[in-house]
Amino acid sequence: MDLQRIQNAVREILLAVGEDPERDGLLETPARVARMYAEVFSGLKIDPKIYLKKTFNVQHEEMVLVRDIDFNSMCEHHLLPFTGRAHIAYLPSGKVVGLSKLARIVEAVSHRPQVQERMTEELADLVLNELGAIGAGVVLEASHSCMSLRGVRKTGSTTITSAMRGSFKTNPATRAEFLSLVHSPRLRAGG
Active-site residues: which are they?
75-78, 116, 144, 146
Query: Any bridge partners for residue 141, and if so which?
Result: 85, 160
Q: Is 60 annotated as a binding residue?
A: no
CB atoms within 10 A of CB 76: 12
Nearest in space to 137 (alpha carbons), one of 179, 107, 101 = 179
DSSP state of 112: S
What element of type H or E holds 164? strand 159-166
Residues in contact with 92: Cβ distance below 8 Å, sequence separation at least 6, in sequence order? 58, 60, 61, 64, 131, 133, 134
Q: Is 183 annotated as a binding residue?
A: no
Q: How far is CA 120 from CA 49, 62, 104, 132, in A?
A: 15, 22, 14, 18
Q: Is 78 annotated as a binding residue?
A: yes
Residues in contact with 18: Cβ distance below 8 Å, sequence separation at least 6, in sequence order? none
Residues in binding site: 75, 78, 146
Binding-site annotation: residue ranges for Zn(2+): 75, 78, 146
